[in-house]
Chains A and B, each alone.
Chain A
């Protein structure tokens, strides 16, 4: 299994541009998450999904959109990029089942908005 994969690894955007960060997992996990991590800071939840067709906002959703048309994919869309969106973006997934299972994180996308 590849686990959670993210593309691209790095990206530089100009203010006002848009882009989609891709996230795919091959573990058949229902739950998927998008986090952002600013330099030296913790993880802030942007959006999450409990299954295909179901998404919900986290603590910092403004400026982002998501969709979940399949179990495997959970893309994050940035519209009208702003310098405040410069960050590292992590996608994560977890299995459902008895108890609360660990989250598996992708390697991250490092985004700079200039």
Chain B
């Protein structure tokens, strides 16, 4: 079945360092979504990318969708302690389900 692979599983950074998580699919995706889950919280939608090569920014967060629409990345510039959490990418299947990656858990040392 359709799978979405996400790496790395964990990342520990010093506050102020950059962070990137990558999401890969073996099949072409119609779009990709990113969610953030704070420790003890629930996933919250961040953004959706639809177009090939699309780049979107939200303050220090930059989201990219690959040209072939098979991969995506989330980059955080100058991490802060408020960035701590697990970041999930997710892609829709053709049956109405959302296929989630395994998530990347970010720890930020102050």
Instruction: Please give, as numbers and ranges, the residues of chain A lying within 8 Å of B96 by CB-CB distance.
Output: 31, 48, 50
Q: Give A111 to B41 CA distance when docked, in angstroms.
A: 15
Q: How far is the CB of B12 from chain A (nearest CB, A)?
A: 14
Q: A48-B97, A90-B42 are in contact. Are A42 and B31 (CB under 8 A)?
A: no
Nearest CB to that of B6 among chain A residues?
Answer: A42
Q: How far is the CA of A86 from the CA of B92 in the complex (A)?
A: 27
- A-B pairs under 8 A by CB, number: 48
Q: A105 CA to B88 CA in the complex, in Å?
A: 13
* Binary A-proximity of B69-108 (CB < 8 A = 1, otherwise 0): 0000000000000000000101010011110111101000
Q: Does A104 reach chain B (CB closer than 8 Å)?
A: yes
* Number of B interface residues in the complex (CB < 8 A): 23
Q: In B34-80, which residues have CB < 8 Å from any A CB?
A: 35, 41-45, 48, 50
Q: Is A84 an interface residue (CB 8 A)?
A: no
Assess whether B31 is in contact with A99, with CB atoms less than 8 Å apart. Answer: yes
* Bound Cα distance A48, B96 (Å): 9
A43 touches B31 (CB 8 A): no
B33 near A102 with CB under 8 A, answer yes
Is A100's CB under 8 angstroms from B31's CB?
A: yes
From 66 to 114 in chain A, residues with beta carbon under 8 angstroms from any chain B beta carbon are: 90, 92, 99-100, 102-108
Chain A neighbourhood of B98, CB < 8 A: 33, 100, 103
Contact B43 A99 (CB under 8 A): no
Chain A nearest Cβ from B106, distance in angstroms: 13
Given A42-B88, A102-B33, also A58-B97 (CB < 8 A): yes
Residues in A27-70 with C-beta less than 8 Å from chain B: 31, 33, 40-43, 45, 48, 50, 56, 58
Query: Is B45 touching A102 in the complex (CB atoms < 8 A)?
Result: yes
Q: Is B30 an interface residue when CB atoms closer than 8 A count as contact?
A: yes
Q: What is the CB-to-nearest-CB distance from B103 to chain A, in angstroms, rounded to a whole number?
A: 5
Complexed CA–CA distance, A48 and B95 (Å): 10
Residues of chain B with a CB closer than 8 A to A108's CB: 42
Residues on A with beta carbons closer than 8 Å to the beta carbon of B97: 33, 45, 48, 58
Instruction: For B47, give the chain A residue with the smallest CB separation.
Output: A102
**Chain B minimum-CB-distance residue to A105:** B42
